């Protein structure tokens, strides 16, 4: 399978799984419980499955090593959004938190990658 075809399959699978988890989140209450599914491993399951089928375990293991850093950043992202949404609109809160996600993720990823 060519790289472009692999990326297309990853995109379709990732989009489909994100929608599946989003619908699961819509089907439960309260909002706080539904929020669990906003950080479900939808993109990870899609990406890792295709990587395992096309590249093998070595690449998948490297992928999840990087994912440890991204997930650490996401914990900080979600906690920060809770605080920021008290003071600023959602788009501003998300934008600031995304910058902090990048900083935290880089701080964890650099030692893991070296």
Partner 1 sequence: MSEPSFFEPPDESVGAQPEAIREVSPRDLALRFGFGAATSVVAGALSLATTPIIGGVMLAFPAILAASLTLIADQEGRSDAREDARGAVLGAVGLAAFAGISVALFGHLPAGLVLAVASAVWAAVALGGYWVLWVARRRSAQAEQRVPRIG
Burial letters 25-34, b for 16+ CB under 10 A, else e: beeeeeeeee
Q: Which of residues 84-113 bind partner 1 (CB under 8 A)?
A: 85-86, 89-91, 93-94, 97-98, 101, 105, 109, 112-113
* 11, 99, 103, 107: which one binds partner 1 (CB under 8 A): 11
Interface with partner 1 (CB under 8 A), residue from 1, 2, 23, 107: 23
Considering only CA atoms, give the Rg of the chain: 16
Burial (Cβ within 10 Å: 0-12, 13-18, ≥19) of residue 111: exposed
* Interacting residue with partner 1 among 15, 99, 103, 107 (CB under 8 A): 15
Which residue from 1, 41, 103, 107 is in contact with partner 1, where contact means CB under 8 A?
41
The number of residues that bind partner 1 (CB under 8 A) is 82
Minimum distance from residue 92 beta carbon to partner 1 (Å): 10
Cβ atoms 42, 10 nearer than 8 A = no
Q: Residue 79 CB: number of other CB atoms within 10 A?
A: 12
**77 is a contact residue toward partner 1 (CB under 8 A):** yes
């Amino acid at each position: 399978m060519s790289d472009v075809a692999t990326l297309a399959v990853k995109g379709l699978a990732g989009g489909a799984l994100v929608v599946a988890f989003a619908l699961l989140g819509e089907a439960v209450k309260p909002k706080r419980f539904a929020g669990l599914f906003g950080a479900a491993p939808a993109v990870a399951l899609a990406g890792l499955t295709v990587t395992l089928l096309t590249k093998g375990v070595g690449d998948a293991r490297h992928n999840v090593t990087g994912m440890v850093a991204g997930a650490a950043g996401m914990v900080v992202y979600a906690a920060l959004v809770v605080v920021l949404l008290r003071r600023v609109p959602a788009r501003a809160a998300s934008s600031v938190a995304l910058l902090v996600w990048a900083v935290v993720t880089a701080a964890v990823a650099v030692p893991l990658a070296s």
